[in-house]
């Protein structure tokens, strides 16, 4: 028999029912990650503060001696718009609802959203040799960065970030700052003495479409199709599983002999024998007698270390290595990098080196293309005031050969390369935050698709402006620098085409471009000179945002006309005059007739024009300037010291 249990209610039935059916009445006011201690708020315009709370909960903000109130909506969202305020601080902010949040050390100044790919990512820490003095002298408590780690979302826009903090450019806290953004901010701060906030949302190797919203890409059907497919989690997981199986299924697997033999090749008890040959560092092994090898190559050399270098910390510079490396010194691992781009700068503990013979071993792994040590980079070890050159002849032996895969290779999904994926996770959570402008440094990942970029960048600019709803926010961007091998004959160039696409984006209102054709390195997609890039962006900001009557851009192609056998080129942004910055004849001008067969041309300056000709081209039609991946000597500047943008007239 079922036992009936009676319950005596001590509260009215309606209240009892409400307790079990209502939403959580203990919900508390919550702020987005960006709104926190030490933040910089935008001056001279309305300021958004927003967050979440219980349904219809009353929210009050106390700030700068005034109170502001609102109620959360039925879905628990709230926003309070603070009035425009002048630069200043530090201030305290109290946000009250069912709970109370106190934020301290708040500044009011100018906030810049800095975004792009690796050259905007690159921190001061990566360039701490070039900028050692800048790092040591960093003492700018009113320059602050909010750094956003790599985040992706394929399903749709997120409303918040999982983590992040505001940090000041003081001492070692400046090391994680984007170097470009730091030098930009420093230039602005020193000029105007107002707090500068940097929101750094950048991801190495990312294409521009990943930074644009789904709505912003509505004019690109193929990208829209990809976005919709990517929302299917089962599709993504299945594709990645198949890709993993494909990429790990070699017809043959040779295990690295350097790690399987006894003793191992990096150990001090190992004695080289059988098959060790000589090779030079720096250099690629394909250029030194090894044909088409993808795999693992071990390098070995005995280095004599003087007693003056022992007993103290040392540093090893190994330039750059393609692709990955492990450095061993006297049998112990002293450094490790897993991909090709970073400069190898390894700290050596004080007890590792010994006077006399030291065994240096470098294991290099390369997956495709030329493997080895990139030329024209520093290779040395130093301690105290002593330096030993590591360039020269080493021994090498192949430890493993990667056998080509058989069958079709299935490509997986790298989320950061997918359209809208970075926007969803790294931009969407920020669009309520009031900003002064945008700095953008990207394009390397879109070389090869310049025609598409010509459409994508204006779309991205319009998309971000639409999302922020602050009108035509100033949009400052960097044109790609010089990179790769120099070509001493006129030639085609995908990098030049991408620069042209960037140049065309100046047709969008309230934009400016920092030309960097003289700031790159032939052997490094991440050139060391970040200071000039940041300061050229700052020049553009001084003109466009801060109203300075200055020359902020190098010469930009405006028009051309043919007179007899010469082409007369007119430029904008000539400043106080055009010059050859090295005093030599103008270089990098090429000319062609209707057949578009370009040859080098003579060029001279006349006022704000350049006259271009070649005696063998009787009926010139087209002209190009600095049209190459890495033009040898693009020396057309204005007298203010800013370089001319590359251009062509044949398209």
CA 246 to chain centre: 31
Is 53 inside a domain boundary? no
Is 330 inside a domain boundary? yes
The pair of three-digit structure tokens given for residue 610, joined into one six-digit string: 């350049």
Is 206 inside a domain boundary? no
CB contact at 8 A, 138 and 148: no
Question: Stretch 371-399: mean pLDDT, rounded?
Answer: 97
CA 586 to chain centre: 32
Q: Which domain holds residue 625?
A: 556-648
Question: Stretch 59-71: mean pLDDT, rounded?
Answer: 97
- The answer on pLDDT for 375 being more than 50 is yes
Q: How does strand 196-202 pair with strand 100-116?
A: parallel
Closest CA to 146 of 200, 194, 204: 200
Annotate 333-381 with DSSP letters as a single string.
EEEEESSSSS--EEEE-TTT--SEEEEEEEEEEE-SS--EE-SSS-EEE
Is 520 inside a domain boundary? no
CA distance 501 to 503: 5
What DSSP state is assigned to residue 283? Answer: E
Q: Output the pLDDT for position 412.
A: 87
pLDDT band at 247 (very low <50, low <70, confident <90, very high): low
Residue 302 is part of a domain; what is its CATH number? 2.60.120.260
Q: How does strand 392-401 pair with strand 295-305?
A: antiparallel
What is the count of structural domains for the chain? 2
CA distance 515 to 498: 13
pLDDT band at 7 (very low <50, low <70, confident <90, very high): very low
pLDDT in tens, 148-183: 999 999 999 999 999 999 999 999 999 999 999 999
pLDDT in tens, 93-124: 999 999 999 999 999 999 999 999 999 999 99
pLDDT in tens, 275-325: 999 999 999 999 999 999 999 999 999 999 999 999 999 999 999 999 999
Residues forming beta bridges with residue 362, ordered by sequence position: 299, 327
pLDDT in tens, 423-455: 999 999 999 999 999 999 999 999 999 999 999
Q: CB-hemisphere CA count at 13 Å for 102?
A: 2
Q: Output the pLDDT for position 1.
A: 39
Q: How does strand 166-170 pair with strand 139-148?
A: antiparallel
Q: CB-hemisphere CA count at 13 Å for 318?
A: 28
Torsional class of 292: left (φ above 0), alpha (ψ -120 to 50), beta (otherwise): left
pLDDT in tens, 400-412: 999 877 667 778 8
Closest CA to 647 of 556, 565, 581, 516: 556
Q: How does strand 556-563 pair with strand 277-281?
A: unpaired
pLDDT band at 11 (very low <50, low <70, confident <90, very high): very low
Is 614 inside a domain boundary? yes
Is 368 inside a domain boundary? yes
Is 18 inside a domain boundary? no
Mean pLDDT score of the chain, rounded to an integer?
Answer: 94
pLDDT in tens, 472-519: 999 999 999 999 999 999 999 999 999 999 999 999 999 999 999 999
- Of the residues 380, 401, 422, which one is the last residue of a structural domain? 401
- The answer on pLDDT for 9 being more than 90 is no
pLDDT in tens, 549-582: 999 999 999 999 999 999 999 999 999 999 999 9
Q: Output the pLDDT for position 244.
A: 80
Is 311 inside a domain boundary? yes
Residues forming beta bridges with residue 10, ordered by sequence position: none
pLDDT band at 87 (very low <50, low <70, confident <90, very high): very high
Whether this prediction's pTM lies above 0.85 is answered by yes
- Of the residues 350, 374, 401, which one is the last residue of a structural domain? 401
- Radius of gyration of the CA atoms of the chain, in A: 30
CA distance 448 to 466: 28
- Of the residues 401, 430, 460, which one is the last residue of a structural domain? 401
374 φ, ψ to 5°? -70, 130
Q: Output the pLDDT for position 496.
A: 98
pLDDT band at 248 (very low <50, low <70, confident <90, very high): low
Q: CA separation (Å) from 495 to 374, 442, 450, 483?
A: 21, 12, 8, 8
């Amino acid at each position: 028999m079922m036992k009936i249990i009676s319950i005596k209610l001590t509260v009215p039935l309606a209240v009892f029912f409400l307790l079990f059916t209502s939403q959580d009445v203990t919900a508390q006011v919550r702020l987005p990650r960006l709104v926190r201690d030490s933040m910089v708020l935008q001056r001279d315009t309305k300021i958004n503060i927003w967050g979440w709370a219980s349904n219809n909960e009353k929210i009050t903000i106390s700030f700068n001696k005034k109170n502001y109130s609102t109620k959360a909506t039925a879905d628990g969202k709230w926003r309070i718009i603070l009035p425009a305020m002048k630069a200043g601080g530090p201030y305290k902010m109290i946000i009250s609802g069912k709970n109370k949040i106190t934020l301290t050390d708040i500044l009011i100044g100018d906030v810049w959203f800095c975004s792009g790919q690796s050259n905007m990512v690159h921190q001061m820490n990566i360039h701490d040799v070039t900028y050692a003095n800048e790092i040591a002298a960093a003492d700018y408590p009113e320059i602050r960065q909010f750094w956003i780690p790599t985040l992706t979302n394929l399903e749709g826009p997120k409303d918040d970030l999982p983590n992040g903090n505001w940090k000041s450019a003081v001492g070692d806290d400046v090391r994680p700052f984007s170097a470009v953004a730091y030098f930009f901010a420093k230039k602005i701060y020193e000029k105007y003495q107002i707090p500068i906030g940097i929101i750094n949302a950048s991801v190495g190797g990312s294409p521009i479409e990943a930074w644009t919203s789904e709505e912003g890409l509505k004019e690109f059907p193929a990208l829209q199709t990809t976005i919709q497919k990517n929302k299917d989690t089962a599709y993504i997981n299945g594709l990645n599983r198949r890709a993993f199986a494909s990429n790990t299924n070699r017809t043959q697997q040779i295990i690295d002999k350097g790690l399987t033999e006894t003793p191992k090749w990096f150990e001090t008890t190992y004695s080289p024998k059988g098959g060790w040959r000589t090779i030079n560092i720096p250099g690629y092994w394909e250029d030194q007698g090894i044909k088409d090898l993808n795999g693992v190559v071990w390098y070995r050399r005995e280095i004599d270390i003087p007693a003056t270098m022992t007993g103290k910390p040392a540093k090893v510079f190994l330039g750059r290595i393609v692709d990955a490396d492990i450095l061993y010194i006297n049998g112990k691992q002293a450094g490790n990098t897993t991909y090709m781009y970073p400069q190898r700068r390894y700290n050596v503990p004080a007890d590792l080196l010994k006077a006399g013979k030291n065994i240096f071993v470098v294991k290099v792994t390369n997956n495709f293309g030329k493997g080895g040590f990139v030329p024209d980079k520093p290779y040395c070890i130093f301690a105290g005031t002593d330096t030993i050159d590591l360039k020269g002849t080493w021994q090498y032996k192949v430890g493993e050969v990667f056998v080509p895969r058989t069958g079709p290779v299935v490509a997986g999904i790298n989320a950061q390369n997918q359209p809208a994926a970075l926007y969803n996770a790294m931009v969407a959570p920020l669009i309520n935050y009031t900003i002064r402008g945008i700095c953008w440094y990207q394009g390397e990942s879109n070389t090869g698709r310049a025609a598409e970029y010509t459409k994508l960048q204006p779309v991205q600019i319009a998309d971000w402006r639409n999302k922020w709803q602050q009108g035509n926010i100033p949009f400052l961007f960097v044109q790609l620098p010089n990179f790769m091998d120099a070509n001493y004959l006129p030639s085609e160039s995908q990098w030049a085409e991408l620069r042209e696409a960037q140049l065309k984006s100046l047709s969008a209102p309230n934009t400016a471009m920092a030309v960097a054709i003289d700031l790159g390195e032939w052997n490094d997609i991440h050139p060391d000179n970040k200071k000039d890039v940041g300061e050229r962006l700052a020049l553009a900001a001084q003109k466009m945002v801060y109203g300075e009557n200055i020359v902020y851009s190098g010469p930009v192609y405006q028009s051309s006309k043919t007179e007899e056998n010469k082409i007369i080129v007119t430029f904008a942004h000539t400043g106080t005059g055009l010059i050859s910055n090295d005093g030599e004849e103008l270089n990098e001008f090429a000319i062609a007739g209707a057949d578009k067969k370009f040859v080098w041309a003579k060029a001279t300056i006349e006022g704000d024009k350049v006259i271009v000709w070649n005696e063998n081209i009787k009926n010139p039609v087209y002209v190009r300037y600095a049209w190459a991946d890495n033009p040898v000597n693009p020396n057309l500047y204005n007298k203010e010291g800013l370089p001319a943008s590359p251009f062509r007239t044949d398209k």
